[in-house]
Structure 1
Amino acid sequence: MNSIIGIVLTVFCVFGGYMMAGGKLEIILHSLPYEMMIIGGAAIGAFLCANDMHTVKSTLSDVISAFKGPKWKRQDYSDLLCLMHELVRLAEQSPVELEAHIEDPENSALFQKYPRILSSKDFVELICDTMRSMLMNFDNVYQVEELLDKQLETMKEERLHGSHALSNIADALPALGIVAAVLGVIKTMASIDKPPEVLGEMIGGALVGTFLGVFLAYSFVGPLANRIKQIRDQEAYFYSLMREVLVSSLHKNETTLCIEVGRRSAPHGFRPSFSEVEDALKALKQAA
């Protein structure tokens, strides 16, 4: 919602201020399709040239996320704590039963309680792989911790590819605007014999290219790339919560302490209270 409000406010203030100062939209509207074709086409072409199809697809998904917000909500953090509580408890009490759940999470009654978490295949796979490593009785618990940290770092870097790609486009847009403006000047110079009022209109049209390049870079694409980065960084806290619980379990802490360590690692706006987690865990016990 903030992204939509920001876009509307930007367009209103920029063009509203321009018109209040006596500017006329006709020259901008007349040149807009051609300048957008030059600038937008060059930007899209450069984007496709610089990135593989996986990054292109993930960037399109990222743009949608910028308007929808982070995938994981406050309730998801509470659900993850409950899921991790059940997994850690099983790891301590019945490793054989736990193995059945992590080998086939799709058909696990435990994972099916949390469909939003189960829908994230990469995240579920990460949980299962880590729990599997824990069951292998590594001689050094820090081996499992190091493996988990490296995998989380790799996943986070991959999820930031879309933000990096859009940042590169934002950096290029002002230069592409100059390209469009130069082409407009070339066109104007080829009509140097025209009356001054015609030349003035043509020069104004050429300058629309410079305006659009800078305007798109700093008012739309750049902020959009930054918003995507914020969302991906925020979502990384969800993964970090899982990491904190499992690492605490590796160091032989009590299950309740492991869950509390994970709860406190959640970002403030998404962190369930101690009583909320306690009530959720009591509800699980009653259901069982």
Structure 2
Amino acid sequence: MVGLIGIAVIFIMVFGGYILAGGKLGIILKSLPFEMMMIGGAAVGAFLISNDMAAVKHTLKDMGKVFKGPKWKHEDYKDLLCLLFELIRLARANPVAIEEHIEDPDQSSIFSKYPKILTDREAVDLISDTMRSASMNYDDPHQVEEVLEKRMDANLHHALHSSHALQTVADGLPALGIVAAVLGVIKTMASIDQPPEVLGKMIGGALVGTFLGVFLAYGLVGPFSAKVKTVVEEDAHFYQLIREVLVANLHNHSTNICIEVGRQNTPSHCRPSFTELEEALKELKQGAA
């Protein structure tokens, strides 16, 4: 919703100000289809040249994040902490019993309580792989933390590719606008024998190319890139929370302390209160009893 409001504000302020200042939309509307074909088409072509098909699909999918926002909400962070609490408590009480949950999460009675987390393969694999390593006595907290850090850095780098791709397009749009404008000037010079009022309209149409390139770059594509980057980085906190809790577990802190470490590392706007989380954990304990 905020994204749609932002786009509406951009168009209203830019074109509304132009009209209120006495500008006429006729020249812009007449030239817009041809200029958009040249600039937009060249931008799409350059985007396809510089990315493989997987990256193209990834970028198109990620553009929806501008309007949807982050995947993980307040309830999801609370659910994650509850899930980790159950897994850690079971692993300490019965190391053998935990194997069925981390080896086949899809059939796990614990993971199945949290369907949204279960559908995220990276979160499930991160939890399962780390707990499996701990069960194999690969329990040096510093080594595990280093491995997890490298894994999450690689995943974040991959996830940010769509943002970089969009920013590259945004950087090139002003230059493509100049290309379209130059072509318009060439067209005007070929009609130099026309009266001034005709030449004026032709020059105005050529300048639409420059305007459109800059407008698309800084008014739409650039902000899209920035928003995608913000959403991807915010969603990355979800996986960082998994790392913090599981590394705390390897340090042999009590289960409640491990979960509190995770709660404290949750982004403030998604962080469940201490009382809220305590109530959720009490319900889990009562259900297990």
Aligned to 2:52: 52
- Within 2, Cα distance between the matches of 1:121 and 1:141? 24
d(CA) in 2 for partners of 1:222 and 1:166?
A: 7
Counting aligned pairs with the same residue, the percent is: 62
Question: Is 1:253 aligned to 2:253, yes or no?
Answer: yes
RMSD: 0.9
> Matches of residues 95-244 of structure 1 in structure 2 within 5 Å?
95-138=95-138, 140-244=140-244
- Unaligned 5+ residue runs, structure 2? none
Q: Distance in 2 between matches of 1:277 and 1:234?
A: 21
For residue 16 of structure 2, what is the aligned residue in structure 1?
16
| Deviation string, structure 1 residues 108-153 (Cα, Å, up to 9, x no partner) | 1110100000111122111111111111102633221111111111
Once residues 249 and 140 of structure 1 are traced to their aligned partners in structure 2, the CA distance between those partners, rounded to angstroms, is 11
**Structure 2 CA distance, aligned partners of 1:77 and 1:194?**
68
Contact 2:133 2:139 in 1 (8 A): no
Q: Which segments of 5 or more consecutive residues in structure 1 lack a partner in the other structure?
A: none
**Number of equivalent positions:** 288
Structure 2 CA distance for aligned equivalents of residues 146 and 13 of structure 1: 49
The superposition leaves residues 146-200 of structure 1 with CA deviations (integer Å, 9 ceiling, x where unpaired) of: 1111111111111100001001111000001001101111111111111111111
User: Where do residues 260-275 of structure 1 align in structure 2 (5 Å cutoff)?
Assistant: 260-275=260-275
Structure 2 counterpart of 1:143, one-letter code = Q
Q: 2:284 is matched with which residue?
A: 284
2:218 maps to a residue whose letter is Y
Output the CA distance in 1 between the equivalents of 2:141 and 2:121.
Answer: 25
Matched letter for residue 230 of structure 1: T
CA displacement at 1:72 relative to structure 2: 0.4
The whole-number CA distance in structure 2 between the counterparts of 1:23 and 1:249 is 66
The TM-score with structure 2 as length reference comes to: 0.98
**Residues 54-82 of structure 1: CA deviation (Å, up to 9, x unaligned):** 21111111110110110001000000000
Cα distance in structure 1, aligned partners of 2:118 and 2:232: 19
Residue matched to 1:37:
37
Matching residue's letter, 1:258: C
What secondary structure is seen at the aligned counterpart in 2 of 1:266?
coil
Residue 83 of structure 2 corresponds to 83
Q: Distance in 1 between matches of 2:81 and 2:62?
A: 26
Q: Which runs of 4+ in 1 moved over 4 A?
A: none
Equivalent-residue separation in structure 1 for 2:75 and 2:164 (angstroms): 30
